Amino acid sequence: MGYINIFVSSYCKLSLDSSGLILSGEKEARFAIEDINCVMIDNLQCSVSISLLSRLAKEGVAVFVCDQKHIPTAILMPYGQYFAHLRVFRLQTQVKKPLVKQMWQSIVSRKIANQAECLRLEGKSVGADKLFALSQTVLSDDTSNLEATAARIYFKELFGKDFDRRSDNGINACLNYGYAIVRGLIARTLAARGFSAFLGIHHASELNAFNLADDFIEPYRAIVDRTVSKFSLSTLDSDAKKLLFNLNNTDVSIDNANQVLPRSIEICIDSYMTSLEQGVNKLKLPIMQEIKSHEYL
Q: 18 pLDDT band (50/70/90 cuts)? A: confident
Residue 276: Cβ-neighbour burial (10 angstroms; 0-12, 13-18, 19+): buried
Say which CATH architecture domain 4-76 belongs to.
Answer: Ribosomal Protein L15; Chain: K; domain 2 (3.100)
What residues contact residue 88 under an 8 Å CB cut-off, 6+ apart? 82, 193, 194, 195, 196, 273
pLDDT score, position 67 = 86
* Domain ranges across the chain: 4-76, 85-278
Ranges 15-19, 24-28, 83-87: which has the least confidence = 83-87
Q: What's the pLDDT tens digit per position in 95-117? A: 999 999 999 999 999 999 999 99
d(CA 13, CA 216): 34
Q: What's the pLDDT tens digit per position in 140-191? A: 999 999 999 999 999 999 999 999 999 999 999 999 999 999 999 999 899 8
Q: What's the pLDDT tens digit per position in 281-292? A: 999 999 999 999
d(CA 126, CA 124): 6
Question: Do the Cβ atoms of 152 and 205 come closer than 8 Å?
Answer: no
pLDDT score, position 192 = 84
pLDDT score, position 1 = 66
Radius of gyration of the chain (CA): 19
Q: 33 pLDDT band (50/70/90 cuts)? A: very high
For residue 82, pLDDT over 60 is answered with no
Q: 297 pLDDT band (50/70/90 cuts)? A: low
- Asked if domains 4-76 and 85-278 share a fold, the reply is no
Q: What's the pLDDT tens digit per position in 190-239? A: 988 889 999 999 999 998 989 999 999 999 999 999 999 999 999 999 99
pLDDT score, position 80 = 57
Q: Would you identify the CATH topology of the domain 85-278?
A: Four Helix Bundle (Hemerythrin (Met), subunit A) (1.20.120)
Q: Are strands 36-41 and 28-31 parallel, antiparallel or unpaired?
A: unpaired
pTM comes to 0.89
Mean pLDDT of the chain: 93
Dump strand ranges (E) for 137-270.
251-254, 257-260
